[in-house]
């Protein structure tokens, strides 16, 4: 199974989650929960990971974290590896503990931070407990009770600042209503506004295009130079972000033999689905029929 793509950068925000293998329970008692939380503390110290919201359930966990040092994969690998070793020793367990490495969604914090924190805190409500404050293994109680000594990895100020006061936070968190972030995730990797998705794609996905693909991606002799030329040409154009992204996709289709699926998975890390890439390619050609600057750019790309 291929590894999940990670888009990360300095101080990026992520929703990280995982569950037990075959949905088995991975936390049975207080000692288990405490051990996992101690591993988060250890990577906070060693890797700088900051938690803004968390919830540990019996068979899965959610973390809303900030990644100051761009080392999400290393930090999470340490947490999961240490906990899996502990679990196997304690329960004489053989085989997998977690379903997979872990899932992570890049978050537009300006738009979704407080909504995602609420979603995470609500995980046990109606399943294990009736009220948010009744579940000991989430960060909610540290938000509402300043007398508790909160873990050093937990940062509550940022979310509280987005509310007028503590009373507004409590009211918001306890409001009923179903919101599932997975219904709004773009191509399985980003939760954010259209502008955020465009910026992330252009700044952190498009620059990772691989100019050394081989095997099933064999192209003509000039292929190695073409993608670099494409990127350089489009970077010089004074187009907005959507058009720049569309031009990159157009160039890849015109100057390589990559399919939409290959462009999606191998060049854009899955940030655009094949159907989305196909649509952008077609719409760009249509717009170029009435937009001289776009038409000129397409001619320049074809002449590479």
Residue that terminates a domain, selected from 165, 183, 201: 183
pLDDT at 122: 96
Q: Is the domain of 72 the same as that of 135?
A: yes
Q: Is 190 helix (H, G, I), strand (E, B) or coil?
A: strand
Task: Say yes or no to pLDDT of 48 above 50.
Answer: yes
Q: Is the domain of 74 the same as that of 169?
A: yes
Q: Is the domain of 219 the same as that of 129?
A: no
Sign (positive or negative) of CA dihedral 46, 48, 52, 58: negative
Q: Is the domain of 160 the same as that of 121?
A: yes
| pLDDT range class, residue 253, cuts 50, 70, 90 | confident
Q: Is the domain of 214 the same as that of 253?
A: yes
Position 295 in a domain: yes
Residue that terminates a domain, selected from 183, 202, 236: 183
Task: Say yes or no to pLDDT of 182 above 80.
Answer: yes
Q: Is the domain of 45 the same as that of 136?
A: yes
Task: Say yes or no to pLDDT of 108 above 70.
Answer: yes
Q: Is the domain of 159 the same as that of 220?
A: no
pLDDT at 226: 63
CA angle 183, 188, 193 (to 5 degrees): 65
DSSP 95: S
Q: Is the domain of 110 the same as that of 38?
A: yes
Position 261 in a domain: yes
| pLDDT range class, residue 252, cuts 50, 70, 90 | confident
Residue that terminates a domain, selected from 183, 215, 242: 183
| pLDDT range class, residue 132, cuts 50, 70, 90 | very high
pLDDT at 219: 39
Task: Say yes or no to pLDDT of 278 above 50.
Answer: yes
Helix (H) or strand (E) holding 284: helix 274-287
Q: Is the domain of 248 the same as that of 287?
A: yes
Q: Is the domain of 117 the same as that of 262?
A: no
Q: Is 160 helix (H, G, I), strand (E, B) or coil?
A: helix
Helix (H) or strand (E) holding 41: helix 30-47
| pLDDT range class, residue 110, cuts 50, 70, 90 | very high
Determine the Cα–Cα distance for residues 273 and 176; give it in Å rounded to an integer. Answer: 33
Residues paired with residue 50 on neighbouring β-strands, in sequence order? 66
pLDDT at 216: 36
Task: Say yes or no to pLDDT of 196 above 70.
Answer: yes
Q: Is the domain of 38 the same as that of 123?
A: yes
Domain count, the chain: 2
Position 1 in a domain: no
Position 150 in a domain: yes
Task: Say yes or no to pLDDT of 243 above 90.
Answer: no
CA angle 198, 108, 103 (to 5 degrees): 100
Read off the CATH number of the domain in which 148 is found. Answer: 3.30.70.1290
Q: Is the domain of 176 the same as that of 200?
A: no
- Is the pTM higher than 0.85? no
pLDDT at 304: 66
Position 5 in a domain: no
Domain that holds residue 226: 193-302
Read off the CATH number of the domain in which 211 is found. Answer: 1.10.1750
pLDDT at 222: 46
Q: What is the mean pLDDT of the chain?
A: 85
Task: Say yes or no to pLDDT of 5 above 60.
Answer: no
Position 79 in a domain: yes
Position 7 in a domain: no
Across the range 175-184, mean pLDDT stands at: 87
Position 234 in a domain: yes
């Amino acid at each position: 199974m291929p590894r999940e793509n990670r888009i990360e950068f300095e101080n990026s925000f992520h929703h990280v989650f995982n569950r037990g293998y075959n949905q088995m329970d991975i936390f049975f008692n207080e000692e288990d929960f405490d051990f996992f939380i101690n591993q988060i503390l250890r990577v906070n110290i060693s890797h700088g990971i900051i938690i803004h919201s968390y919830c540990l359930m019996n068979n899965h966990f959610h973390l809303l974290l900030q990644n100051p040092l761009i080392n999400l994969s290393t930090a999470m690998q340490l947490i999961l590896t240490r906990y899996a070793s502990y679990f196997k020793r304690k329960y004489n367990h053989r085989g997998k503990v977690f379903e997979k490495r872990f899932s992570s969604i890049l978050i537009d914090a300006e738009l979704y931070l407080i909504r995602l924190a609420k979603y995470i805190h609500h995980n046990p409500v109606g399943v294990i407990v009736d009220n948010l404050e009744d579940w000991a293994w989430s960060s909610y109680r540290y938000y509402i009770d300043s007398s508790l000594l909160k873990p050093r990895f937990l940062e509550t100020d940022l979310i509280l600042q987005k509310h007028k006061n503590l009373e507004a936070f409590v009211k918001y968190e306890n409001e009923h209503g179903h919101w599932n972030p997975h219904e709004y995730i773009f191509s399985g990797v980003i939760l954010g506004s259209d502008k955020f998705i465009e910026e992330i794609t252009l700044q952190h996905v498009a620059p990772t295009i691989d100019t050394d693909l081989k095997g099933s991606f064999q192209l003509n002799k000039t292929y190695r130079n073409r993608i670099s030329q494409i990127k350089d040409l489009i970077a010089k154009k004074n187009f907005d972000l959507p058009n720049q992204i569309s031009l990159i996709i157009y160039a890849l289709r015109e100057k390589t033999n990559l399919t939409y699926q290959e462009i999606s998975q191998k060049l854009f890390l899955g940030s655009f689905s094949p159907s989305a890439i196909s649509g952008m390619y077609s719409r760009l050609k249509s717009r170029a029929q009435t937009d001289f600057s776009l038409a000129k750019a397409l001619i320049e790309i074809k002449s590479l």
